[in-house]
Structure 1
């Protein structure tokens, strides 16, 4: 039976498909080089065996590298940015020696930027179908877009061993170019999904990914719709590709702030965090606390095994143990947290604890 591709389904829903360049393929010597890739000590949870996930993969339309990663990114000063409106989404990172913003309207056409942060090789990755942005330490390799989807989510591949890496799972699985990869999980870093206005206010010295990417793309138009104002694919219940599970507790595209570790997963509805500012829950059997950060419209999740009292102050600070802290600086163990559409999160973490 003919299976629809992302290109056909975008056209059927009245959305023009992404124009990807063809290419890229694999060299025959890919396995002769060792893969020096920063990974975590404990593998992140998987919803199924790696081979089972591989069998669930489907073509997204463009071939391998048909959606081209940005491998030689250039950056400009904020005063030179003339293509962003205040409410446009950007994905920000502020680390020692590097403050950068990656505009969503550029990444929607590329999905991966192979960059470095103050000399450390990283990959910034974005899947428009699942609303997820993830940062990974990439060691001596680069990541590319495989052209495959699992749970409607981007499947990356590394250009050294050509193993598949589903973006949300951040863990290697078998694929047709490497049937027996070492199954391990990537080290991640936080990217903040915020607006250009909010990011620039907090980081006036930021560098911004330039539209000079080396590719002929129309960065003024999102083929899936718009986040400013919200509309198109991002707003409706309509799916271009199905998720792994059907769970109608919430709108499919409702945004959660999700966190997962080897011992479980937890998700907080983002709009509930905006309202409540501080929420508690459990990841596995461990108490956690989620705190909202109105500087960026984001949130952070911390392990809180002793169930310390945590409260939100009028000035946006977080009170705990008689002191106040910035929302991203509580003296608790922070768990990597990121935005995701509800269907995408629950599809990969069906046993997650959800709070809203």
Structure 2
């Protein structure tokens, strides 16, 4: 991962390499990727984020400990919560995902990919099964609209994390199933799941608990993004809650606390810090936690809390829920 102090350097590096943004320049690194099958019309949309393929090491088969045994994680530090019926609830701390971005795990009989893109604040969990195939995901080192491009190790197809869809290779056009999961503060997870599990600190030399993108979510513009800014005067780095093709700005939700619209009930409450604010995640500013449930059944609904620029980039005709 790259500290904010080095981001400008990467901008120059990536700008200088735009002319080489084509499959011919990538084939030595991606010999198994079928670049003839793709939904990408303009290859210059694909930029290097700095690290090479696997330069950001995705994790597989992580270890877990009881929440009562976890003493390193601050109470308001964000985790991605995954609750699958019949299995112990699991918390995946963002302090680890910031440095690894993908965790390949198995929760009972359900193989999952827990993903987090720091540059988009997008945290989503996908089922790793696709038809009869089981996929294992890695980090390509490439970005599109500042969002992580993942790849599967079985075919080396490229996948857009924000939409869970194959964009290059054998799986072009295929869609992963997004599972209901959400980001919340660690204390919120513990209070609801006293017998839950939390992912154990990985055995990698990383500054876990530190934010390598200090002040990023207070920036005026996103990193390595050349698309349009959101409409309605919305700040590009405003967090929005996306459900399908609709987005609710977080400032609206934090003001009212709860809305029931578009078939869903969305609640906001304090208890989660930003992972992209201060150097120390545990003491960063409050952003609050979101839950999204079906308005009729009360069931958890797959969603994402991402930056407004990313929603506009991937859902240019999306619906903005402003009032």
TM-score normalized by the length of structure 2 = 0.77
Residue aligned with 2:187, SS: helix
Could you list the per-position Cα deviations for residues 131-167 of structure 1 after superposition, in whole angstroms to 9, with x for gaps in the alignment? 0101011132200001100110011001111111110
Residue aligned with 1:51, SS: coil
2:267 to 292, 317, 325: 292
Residue aligned with 1:186, SS: coil
Residue aligned with 2:99, SS: coil
How far apart in 1 are the matches of 2:207 and 2:298?
A: 43
- Give yes or no for the alignment of 1:244 onto 2:227: yes
How far apart in 1 are the matches of 2:242 and 2:196?
A: 26
Where does structure 1 lack aligned partners over 5 or more consecutive residues? Answer: 1-5, 16-24, 32-48, 226-231, 282-286, 303-309, 311-329
Change (3 A) 1:244 1:280: farther
| Matched pairs, number | 278
1:138 to 128, 139, 162: 128
Q: CA RMSD in A?
A: 2.8
Change (3 A) 1:243 1:125: farther
Change (3 A) 1:51 1:255: same
Cα displacement (A) at 1:339: 0.5
2:171 to 172, 181, 184: 181
Residue aligned with 1:82, SS: coil
How far apart in 1 are the matches of 2:2 and 2:76?
A: 28
How far apart in 2 are the matches of 1:81 and 1:13?
A: 36
1:267 to 233, 247, 260: 247
Cα displacement (A) at 1:181: 3.4
Could you list the per-position Cα deviations for residues 264-301 of structure 1 after superposition, in whole angstroms to 9, with x for gaps in the alignment? x11111232233344355xxxxx434431549721326
Task: Name whichever structure is richer in helix by fraction.
Answer: 2
Residue aligned with 2:59, SS: coil
Does the Cα contact within 8 Å between 1:53 and 1:150 map onto a contact in 2?
A: no
How far apart in 1 are the matches of 2:317 and 2:242?
A: 13
Cα displacement (A) at 1:244: 2.6
Select the structure of larger CA radius of gyration: 1
**Map of 2:144 onto structure 1:** 150
- Give yes or no for the alignment of 1:172 onto 2:166: yes
1:340 to 283, 306, 322: 306
Where does structure 2 lack aligned partners over 5 or more consecutive residues? Answer: 11-28, 272-288
2:256 to 271, 276, 299: 276
Does the Cα contact within 8 Å between 2:88 and 2:195 map onto a contact in 1?
A: no
Does the Cα contact within 8 Å between 1:98 and 1:118 map onto a contact in 2?
A: no
- Give yes or no for the alignment of 1:220 onto 2:209: yes
Cα displacement (A) at 1:53: 6.2
Does the Cα contact within 8 Å between 1:126 and 1:134 map onto a contact in 2?
A: yes
Change (3 A) 1:266 1:82: same
How far apart in 2 are the matches of 1:80 and 1:333?
A: 30
Deviates more, 1:157-166 or 1:51-60: 51-60
How far apart in 1 are the matches of 2:209 and 2:300?
A: 36
Cα displacement (A) at 1:119: 2.9
How far apart in 1 are the matches of 2:157 and 2:176?
A: 13
Residue aligned with 1:63, SS: coil
1:235 to 212, 218, 234: 218
How far apart in 2 are the matches of 1:126 and 1:168?
A: 9
Does the Cα contact within 8 Å between 2:181 and 2:303 map onto a contact in 1?
A: no
